[in-house]
Amino acid sequence: MLIAHISDTHISARGQKTYGIAPMAENLARCIEHINTQSLKPDLVLLSGDVTHDASHQEAVHAAEILAALECPLYLVPGNHDDRDVIWDVFGGSACPSKADGFINYVVETGALRLIGLDSCSGRSGGMICERRAAWLRGALAQGGLKPTLIFMHHPPLKCGVQETDIDGFANVEMLQGIVADYPNIERILCGHIHLLTHSRWQGTLVTTAPSMGMQLALDLNQTAASQFHLSSPAYLLHHWTADKSLISHSISVDGLIGPYDFRQY
């Protein structure tokens, strides 16, 4: 099974660049074309939030128009740049298959893996979980038995060592810690939000954050600089669930590589 994981598309209104300089609509369209032409077709695409930039309806419709070019099913969760009601209005019943207790929480059953979309939005920049979402998640996990499971949500549940997102962390994270630690079949937690590719061990599983669709956070591990981003090539991840039941994650940059060259000739 192959899952393409895109994140932080930050789509602005038609004809506008995000922050006036980032061509996010063009980036997403190029990325979709790249996904569609993979030699092994992804079974589905996950978009881990910040679909829109200013949370407007017209931005969500614009994003949906671009995403319609995908040749495989799409599932998404909202991020802090999205409006939950707008996302549901535009993507509800398709890329957001169902709602639970007012949140965009849902389960997707596939042959090999169980996918749990979790709405981590708080109304602030940072993420959160609450009693209602925690109860829903515990129930969803309990129903799945020991089947390998991926949770995808916008906000990583740990501080990733970068000021931009650590400063407004994940509220009530102890609720999530307790649930995740109880389920060793959680193969991975897939997130976005920080606009960087990272992998962190957390509560017995691995948290992966995907790169953004062309606005990479300027890495400052001293946590001293003002928040800045680079314009970058659109990038995404391919999560490959192999015959050996391992989830192998590949980082893909949409801009072409030079080559290939044959190892035996050089």
Pull the structure tokens for residue 139: 């129930």
The token pair at 261 is 């060259």
In degrees and rounded to multiples of 5, residue 164 shows phi and psi of -50, -40
Q: Is 216 among the residues that bind Fe ion (CB under 5 A)?
A: no
50 vs 119, beta carbon nearer Fe ion? 50
Contact present, 125 and 79 (Cβ < 8 Å) = no
Asked if 82 touches Fe ion (CB under 5 A), the answer is: no
- Site membership for Fe ion, residue 84 (CB under 5 A): no
Bridge-based pairing of strands 44-47 and 74-76 is parallel
Q: Min. distance of Cβ 126 from Fe ion in angstroms?
A: 9
- In whole angstroms, the minimum distance from the beta carbon of 132 to Fe ion comes to 22
For tokens 């925690």, the residue is 134
79 touching Fe ion, by CB under 5 A: yes
Could you tell me how far CA 164 lies from the centroid of its own chain? 18
Interface segment toward Fe ion; rule CB under 5 A; list 79-87, 89-97, 131-139, 166-174: 79-87
Q: Is 119 in the site for Fe ion (CB under 5 A)?
A: no
Q: How many angstroms separate the Cα of 208 from the Cα of each of 50, 101, 190, 196, 220?
A: 16, 27, 5, 10, 19
| Choice between 50 and 187, CB closer to Fe ion | 50
φ and ψ at 41, to 5 degrees?
A: -70, 130
| The two three-digit tokens of residue 181, written as one number | 């630690």
Backbone angles phi, psi at 88, to 5 degrees: -65, -40
Q: Rounded to the nearest whole angstrom, what is the least distance from the CB of residue 122 to Fe ion in the complex?
A: 11
Q: Which of 34, 114, 133, 193 binds Fe ion (CB under 5 A)?
A: 193
Contacts of Fe ion in 133-192 (CB under 5 A): none
Question: In 48-165, at which residue ranges do the beta strands (DSSP E only) sit?
Answer: 74-76, 106-109, 114-117, 149-152
- Least Cβ distance, residue 101 to Fe ion (angstroms): 22
Residues 45-64 close enough to bind Fe ion by CB under 5 A: 50
* Contact call for residue 232 and Fe ion (CB under 5 A): no
Indicate the residue among 52 and 205 with the shorter CB distance to Fe ion: 52
Question: Site for Fe ion (CB under 5 A): which residue of 80, 203, 205, 209?
Answer: 80
Interface residues with Fe ion (CB under 5 A)? 8, 50, 79-80, 193
